[in-house]
Structure 1
């Protein structure tokens, strides 16, 4: 039995496998490239060797177990996963510890990033920008000019980045130093940025100009001295370049002749051979361009047509400030010149002796060539003698209140003819060369007509039309009312007229007489229209004067009681006299037997005692008269027919 047990025990020793549950720790899981760190194993077994491996690669030599802690010292170059293999010394049985560890190694910044510069050649004071094609997150980048760090660091973004725009003061290659923000490890990028910095062109040069004051369309030449052969010079009118740039020649530099269109200031920009932007030459040149006078100013005249000896005034509308204007009458320049002030200006008054065409010439203080304005003015002279105009008055003899026409059979185009009655202007006509007619003129007894020429300043009487005005006769009428119907009277008298007189009575007759008094008797009641025409054919009125004969004592109606239809003109018709405010009545006539022998709805005093075409026998007849008026009741009575 004892031999068997020993055999079994020896068998266990030969097949022993190391324990794999030890604790594995590391001092720092994250380290910078080149840094040391230690991996610890605890507890270790005596008789067991421990080997550190990285991705099946043996690192260093094995460490013998000592019953407590062992450690491995390493300097990893990259991030790695580590494991430990335990090997029994006697059986050579191995096992990998179940616990592994990892180390993250932070590498130095990469240095193969492309570097670019925006402007490789600049002048002092100009800016440029240095950029990186890519960058690393967690890395800061800074410019280095081999003397000192320049500006502030910029942080990587894992994309392209640019340093702030800056202004180098000398030519130098710029290096870029990359620093890891955690480990402070640095690297210098392989590429550099070289910038060439030159001096700016000299700006204290003095440009000159051959003429500072010119007339429009004249040329000027601008020069600059001294000039630098490494600098180009550009002439400007404000912001507009003039011609092509010229390179300096160490002497006077003459720009191409230029023709300024207005007063301006010329400046010159100088561009160095390494400069991005030109600089302004400190001094400029001014040119004062004097424009010729404007020819569209209007020439005015206060009177285009005047009479001999009268004056006219010519004016310039909207004159130009500082421009000289002079009149020319077609033959000579007239003194003096007048100077424009921006408003309307007047020449001294002129008194031409003949028709003249006036032109105005203008010139400027610098540009003294005279230029004529676009328009001119003609002044006509009217050679008219006083009271020389023939005239006709139609009719030449009138009654007061009638109208006449006053005619000038010939006239002059453009003449204004003015008709006056005494000091009162009646009307004016500007002639077109035809006859001038003042129509429908109403003269008075005191009218005194004259025709003046309106084109003349002073009163110029060309004609005095003569008109004979007769007074119209005046009527005075006295009437006497009728007592019996046909015994009314009118007494008519006249004054202011001229005999012989013609009295026209309607209804009635016309009487011609030298007498200024006319008496009319045996008139029926009614309305009479009386018109008087005197020996000058003047009328008392246009339509006649109305006068009425009424019935005496306020009677309204008088009925005739007798009829003698024998043709002698007396009582041949049966008359019913009534006031004018009544209408013609309805009439019935009956014989003694009650037979109706006449009837009229509106009796007109025209029944001559007939029945069926025959004159009735003498005798008594009865009538009924109805005025259809509330004021007058129907009238009944007896009528006698006599004289058959």
Structure 2
């Protein structure tokens, strides 16, 4: 059957007249008795120092406290202390003096607000430790929730903010102290996926803790530019990048487009092109490619010299066309047959030889060319086949 609620209409006329009753609801049918005394004074005066309290307890009521005795000290009971919020102040916790010694919270409480002269109350349910009799109304810190950023890209600057109004803050990442001081804002760009952030704030009265914030970090996109390249002055080179969706190239000099993934570059001097890009999640990455402009670059890395032509009238591969030869305006070409007889020469060569000698078609076969590009460069040579 339901247990009876026992009321204790305690009060005191010592000093300020106060009537602050207590009710107790035993938790079982075991015969037991309770006694309650209201001490209408600061508990510190009677040896229960209010300044000795757990760190999350901000304040113990300085005006009065209660001593509650139970004949069976370890039995359960619901205990309620009534108070006048207008005269006594507001409370959100129930403090109990422990043998440590210090005041400690009894744990979760039930608060009921009343309008003066009606009483407000704080209740601790199923309390089972009446070995030490002092109980008091108290205020304990209310933990706060850290709000995670909506999206963190790797390398981004991220701001974690704790509530204002405290004198000291400590920010920890993965259990390691990262920042301690008066600032309630922690800014970092080194967070990794799976990191946890924990915050403690304190003032002269108490300490408050934030929830542990689990961090999700989006990996930085792998933006990959083409390999570094060496070109001669005036040469064009196809740049390219992968890994993103929106691209931006700098510097803009010598580029035919700056917001595409594969611009054509025509740098006049050695240039490092930087490509920046965002991926579909809005995360940012970058890479760079070095284009070296050098008059004495190995021609074989610049020129494309065909080793055969097919001048048969179909319009395809009719002429010996050396790509990028215009980069060497001082070039000279000599072509000989297998016996070393010269069949063609030109200075400069205009990509216009179609396998003729004295305006007559040469027979199919293998010929040999010597290509001079610059006085300081070694000539190129090799076979050239005519296929009719």
- Give the number of the structure with larger relative contact order, counting CA–CA contacts within 8 Å between residues 6 or more apart: 2
Same fold (TM over 0.5): no
Which structure shows the higher strand fraction? 1
TM bin, normalised by shorter chain, reads 0.3 to 0.5
Query: TM-score, normalised on structure 1?
Result: 0.24
Name which one, 1 or 2, has greater alpha-carbon Rg: 1
